[in-house]
Amino acid sequence: MIKVRFKSRQVTEARRQELIREAESLGAIFESYDPAQNELLFKLSPGINRKEFMDTLAKNN
């Protein structure tokens, strides 16, 4: 599982959905959103490199 935490508390629903779509296009499966922690939880598909996934997601955002 990978947690993606937003730095800003002012993240819109549209921005969260955009990040979810991008992560899914990279091979992740969206699991949940925790509004208290302001973070998204993803499960990586088999064969997806965790470091490469995080590097790509960070670079694009």
How far is residue 33's CA from residue 55's CA, in Å, rounded to a whole number?
21
pTM for the whole structure: 0.81
Query: Going by C-beta distance under 8 Å and a sequence separation of 6 or more, which residues neighbour residue 28?
Result: 2, 42, 43, 44, 45, 48, 53
What secondary structure letter does DSSP report for 38?
Answer: T
Q: Average pLDDT over the chain, rounded to whole? A: 89
Residue 58: the pLDDT is: 82
Cα distances (Å, whole numbers) of residue 13 to 10, 37, 44, 45, 48: 10, 15, 22, 24, 26
The pLDDT tens digits of the residues spanning 9-33 come to 778 899 899 999 999 999 899 999 9
Q: What percent of the chain has pLDDT over 90?
A: 41
Residue 40: the pLDDT is: 94
